[in-house]
A and B are shown apart, each in its own frame.
Chain A
Amino acid sequence: MSGANGECAGDALSFNPAEMDKIIRQIVDKVRANYFQNGESGRGIPGEVKRTIEASIDRV
C-alpha cells in the first residue's frame, strides 16, 4: 500500500491503465470545475474524489 504503484507486499493488485485514465479524467474535471468556481484558494474536494473511486472500484 505504501508502494509507488499502490502495491501492498504479497498482495499486489494491478489496475487497468485505460480505466485509471478515465477515473483521472473524471477527477480532474471535477477539480477544474471547483477551481473555476472558487479559485486556487478554494478547499479541496477529497469527498468527490472518494465518490469517484467508489463508483469505479469494481470496474478497474
Chain B
Amino acid sequence: MLIEFIKIVNWRSFYGSNDIVVSKDPTRNVTLIRAENGVGKTSLLAAINWCFFNILPSESEFEDPKSLVNKFAAEQDGATRTTVEIDFRHEGKSYRAARAYDQPSQATQPLRLTELDDGGEVPSSKDRPDRFINSVIPREMAPHFFFYGEATSRYTGASGARKFGEAVKGILGSTVARMALDDLKKTWQDYNRSASDNTSAEAQAAERGIEEAAERIARYRDDLLKLDEEIEAASGRMDRLNQELAGAKPAKDAQARRASIEARLAAKDSEKSKALQRAQTWTQSFLTSVLAEELVREAAEVIKSEDTRGKLPAPYDQKFVDEILEDEMCVCGREIVKGSAEYDRIKKLLDTAGDQAVMSRVMSTNSALGKFGEKAAHAWGVYERNNDDLRTVEGEIVRLDADLVEISKELAANPITDIAEKEAARERAKNQRNQAMSRKVDIQSAINGFERQKADYESKRDELIKKSEAARRYVKRAQLAAALTARLEGRLKAEEEGARAAIEGEIDAIVQKFMRKPATVKLDKDYQLRLFDERGVEIAKSTGENQLLGLAFTGAIAKYAKERQEDVDDILLPGTVAPLVVDSPFGHLDPLYRRGVAEFLPSLASQVILLVSTSQASDVVMTTLADRIGDEYVLTRHNRGDGAGKQAETIEVRGESYDLTAYGSEFEGTRITEVR
C-alpha cells in the first residue's frame, strides 16, 4: 500500500477541509509535515489510524476522545460530522477509504471503501472494507507503521521486550497460526477429557486437577502482564519526572548526580549478576571434586601403597622371557639351570609382573585422581574470590543506594514546592514499581508450584488411561492433537527465529553505522534489545539511544515486511508494503542521531510521512532529508484573538515565510499549507 492523498474535514483541531498529497516518488519518498506543539501532529496520525482501523490513541495521549468534530466548526458553522478520507494504491489499483463520525449521536460510521478510476469513485466489490484493509495492512502490523516516535524510547525492560516480540510476530503474520495453535490445544484438551471420562473417576479427578491448575496458571500469567504494565507505567512516570527535575535549575545538579549514580548502580547490578553467575558456575565446576576430595585421597594412598619395586615393569615381552627359561640360557650367555636360584628369581618376576592393561588403567586412574585433587585444592580459592567479589559489589550497591536516598531527601526538602512535589511523586512511582516487581517474584513462584502440580496430575492421568481399553480411541486422537501442536509450535518458533535474526542484523548494521560508540546489538530470544561493547560487556542505553534503537527496530521490521510481501507460506500471512507514518521521531535525539534517523528511515520503508516540530526539523535533519523530501507541509494554528501582544510564529522554508501561529484570523483551528 502507498498512500496518495489524505483529506480531513473538521477533524479535532483541524478546521474545514484540509488536504495532503503524499509523495509516491520512490527516491523522494518522504512527506514532511511541520508543526509546533499542540497544533495537530498527533491528531493527524490519529486520523490515519482511525480511518483505517477505527483505533484512537489512549486517553493519556488523546484527551476527550468522544469529541472528534472541530469545536469552532461545530459552534460557528453548525458542523456535526467529521470525515477522514485516504486514497491509496494497492496491487495496481487505487482505492479510497473513508470514515465519518457524527458528533450529536457520537456514532462512528463503518469504513467505506471505493475503487477509484481516473479519480472518480466506482462501486467496490469489497463487501467488507474492514476485512479488505486488514488484508492490505493486517491490523496486528498497523501499530508498527503508524506510531508516535518518542514512545519507542520506552521499549526497554520486560514490557519493551514484549512489544518487540509482538512486533516481530505481528510482522510475520503469525496471528492466524497462533489462533490455529489455540484451537489445537483446545481440541487436545477435549480428547484428554474424553479419555479420562472413559477411564475412571480417579482419572476424571486428575483431569479436573489439570484443568484447575491450568486455569490458575493462566490467571497468574495475566496478573504478570498487568504487573509488567504497572512497572512500565511507573518507570514512564519516573522518566518524565527525572526529565522535569533535570530541567528545573535548582534540582539540576542533584538530578545529574542521581543520573550518574543510577548509571553506576546499573553497572554494579550487572556486576552482581555476573558474580552470582560465577558462584553458580562454581557449584557445577567444583562441587564433585570437593565432595570427592577424601575419596580421592584414600584412593591415591591405595595406589601408592601397591609395591611395584622389584617387579618386572609392563610392558614386557612374555614370549621372549619364556624362551630364556625354556632354553635355560640368559641373553648374556650365562646358563640358567632349571631349579637354580637365577631360574627361580626370573620365574618369580614373571609371576608378579604387571599386566599391561591393568598398569595402564592404574596410571590413568592415578592421573585422573591427581586432576581431581588439583581441582579440589584450587576450588576453595576460587570460592573465596567469588565471595569477595560478591561482597565488594554488594557493599558498593548499598553505598550507592544510600547516596540515592540522600539525594532524594535533599530534593524532597527543597524549598521550592514544585520540586519537592515532583520528588515525592517520583518516590511514589519508584515504590509502586518496586512493589510490582516484588509481587512479580511471588506470582512467578506460585506459577512454578502450579506447573509442578499440573505435571503430577498429568502423569497420574496418563498412567490411568493407558490401562483403559475404552479410552484407547481418544488417546490416539489426543496424541495426534499433541503432536500437531508441537509441530506447529516448532515451525512457528523457527520462523520467528529467522525473523528475529534478520531484524537483529538490520538494527546492528544501523548501530554500526550511526551510533557514537562502538557497539554490537543483540536481540535475544526473549526480544530484549541489548547493546554490547567491543569486549562483549553489556552497556547501558541512554533515552536517546533507546529511541534510536526503537526507530531502527521499526525501520527494520518495515523492511522485513516489504521483503516478505511475495512470500507464499502455508502457515503465515505474507508481508506487506506500507507507509511509515511517524510522529515526533527526533524528540530525544542529539544532532548525530537525528542525522542517522533522517538517513536510515527513508531507506528502509517505501514511503515515509514524518510529523515534526520546528525544533526537531533542525538543520542537520533538513540537510540529510533534503534529497528525500517529495512533499512538505506546514500546519498553522489560527487564532481569532490578537494574541495579547504575543509574537506570531513563522518559519522560513526555501526563502518563503509560513505562519506557524497566526492571530486575528477569521476562525479558530489548524489549517494545512503546502510548502512550494
Which A residues are closer than 8 A to B by beta carbons?
A: 1-11, 13, 15, 17, 20-21, 23-25, 27-29, 31-32, 34-37, 39-40, 44-46, 48-50, 53-54, 56-57, 60
Interface positions of B from 450 to 491, Cβ below 8 Å from A: 455, 458-459, 461-463, 465-466, 475-488, 491
A47 → chain B, closest Cβ, in Å?
9
Q: Which of A1, A4, A24 contacts B571 (CB 8 A)?
A: A24
Cα A15 to Cα B477 in complex, Å, equals: 11
B187 touching A31 by the CB < 8 A rule?
Answer: no
Interface size class of B (residues with CB under 8 A): 35 or more
Do residues A24 and B488 form an inter-chain contact, with CB atoms below 8 A?
A: yes
Interface of B is mostly: helix
**5 closest A-B pairs (Cβ-Cβ)?**
A6-B482, A6-B483, A2-B458, A6-B479, A46-B186
Listed in ascending order, the chain B residues whose CB lies under 8 Å from chain A are 130-131, 134-135, 139-140, 175-177, 179-180, 182-184, 186-187, 190, 192, 195, 455, 458-459, 461-463, 465-466, 475-488, 491, 570-571, 573
**Chain A minimum-CB-distance residue to B455:** A2
CA distance A36 to B135 in the complex (A): 8
Q: Are A46 and B187 in contact (CB under 8 A)?
A: yes
Known contacts A1-B479, A4-B486, A44 near B134 by CB under 8 Å: no
A53 to B187, alpha carbons, bound, how many Å?
A: 9
How far is A57 from B466 in the complex, measured between Cα atoms in Å?
Answer: 19
Question: Quick check: A1 and B179 within 8 Å, CB to CB?
Answer: no
Which of A15, A31, A60 makes the CB contact (< 8 A) with B176? A31
Q: Which residues of B contact A35 (CB under 8 A)?
A: 175-176, 179
Say how far A6's CB is from chain B's closest CB, in angstroms: 3
- A8→B462 contact, CB < 8 A: yes
A37 / chain B contacts, CB cutoff of 8 Å: 131
CB-nearest residue of chain B to A51: B187
Per a CB cutoff under 8 Å, which of A9, A46, A57 touches B190?
Answer: A46
B486 touches A17 (CB 8 A): no
Q: A6-B478, A9-B459 are in contact. List 18 more A-B contacts (CB 8 A).
A: A2-B458, A4-B486, A6-B485, A6-B486, A10-B466, A13-B476, A15-B480, A25-B571, A28-B571, A31-B176, A31-B183, A36-B131, A36-B134, A39-B131, A40-B139, A40-B179, A44-B183, A53-B481
Say how far A40's CB is from chain B's closest CB, in angstroms. Answer: 6
A-B contact count (CB 8 A): 128
* Neighbouring A residues of B478 by C-beta, 8 Å: 1, 6
A29 to chain B, nearest CB (A): 8
What is the CA–CA distance of A54 and B461 in the complex, to the nearest angstrom?
23
CB neighbours of B484 from chain A (8 A)? 6, 20, 23-24, 27, 53
Distance, CA A13 to CA B477, complexed state (A): 11
Q: Determine the chain A residues whose CB is within 8 A of the CB of B463 once the complex forms.
A: 9
Contact at A13–B571, with CB atoms within 8 Å?
Answer: no
Instruction: Give Cα distance in the complex from A54 to B654, angstroms.
Output: 71
Task: Identify which of A11, A21, A24 gathers the most chain B CB atoms within 10 Å of its CB.
Answer: A24
- Report whether B182 and A6 are in contact in the complex, using a CB–CB cutoff of 8 Å: no
Identify the closest chain A residue to B189 (Cβ).
Answer: A46
Residues of B within 8 A of A34 (CB): 179
- In the assembled complex, 17 residue pairs joining A and B whose CB atoms fall closer than 8 Å, in A order, are A1-B192, A5-B482, A6-B479, A6-B481, A6-B486, A13-B483, A21-B487, A24-B488, A27-B180, A28-B570, A31-B177, A35-B179, A40-B139, A40-B175, A46-B190, A49-B180, A50-B190
Are A31 and B179 touching (Cβ within 8 A)?
A: yes
CA distance A37 to B128 in the complex (A): 9
Residues of A within 8 A of B175 (CB): 35, 40
Contacts known (A2-B462, A6-B482, A15-B480); A40 close to B187, Cβ less than 8 A: no
Q: How far is the CA of A60 from the CA of B187 in the complex (A)?
A: 17
Most buried by B among A1, A15, A46, A50: A1
Known interface pairs A5-B483, A10-B466; A53-B477 also in contact (CB < 8 Å): yes
Contact across chains for B480 and A6 when beta carbons are under 8 A apart: yes
Question: Which residues on the B side are within 8 Å of A49 (C-beta)?
Answer: 180, 183-184, 186-187
Determine if B466 and A32 form an interchain contact, defined as CB atoms under 8 angstroms apart: no
Pick the most buried of B186, B484, B486, B487: most chain A CB atoms within 10 A of its CB.
B484
Minimum CB–CB distance from B298 to chain A (whole Å) comes to 42
Distance in Å from the Cβ of A22 to the closest Cβ of chain B? 10
Most buried by A among B183, B190, B463: B183
Residue pair B479, A32 in contact (C-beta under 8 Å): no
B contact residues around A17 at 8 Å (CB): 487
CA distance A35 to B183 in the complex (A): 13
Contacts of B179 in A (CB 8 A): 31, 34-35, 40, 44
Residues of A contacting B491 in the complex (Cβ-Cβ under 8 angstroms): 24
Closest Cβ of chain B to A17, distance in Å, is 7
Is the pair B570, A25 in contact by a Cβ cutoff of 8 Å? Answer: yes
Q: Does the CB pair A57–B477 fall under 8 Å?
A: yes
A27 to chain B, nearest CB (A): 5
The residue on A at minimum CB distance from B570 is A25
Task: Assess the A8–B480 pair: CB atoms within 8 A.
Answer: no
Closest-CB distance, A16 to chain B (whole angstroms): 10
What are the residues of chain A within 8 A of B139 when measuring CB–CB? 39-40
User: In the complex, A3→B478 CA distance in Å?
Assistant: 11
Asked whether A50 lies within 8 Å of B187 as measured between CB atoms, the reply is yes
Q: For A2, give its contact among B459, B477, B480, B571 (CB under 8 Å).
A: B459
Write out the residue numbers on chain B whose beta carbons fall within 8 Å of the beta carbon of A54.
477
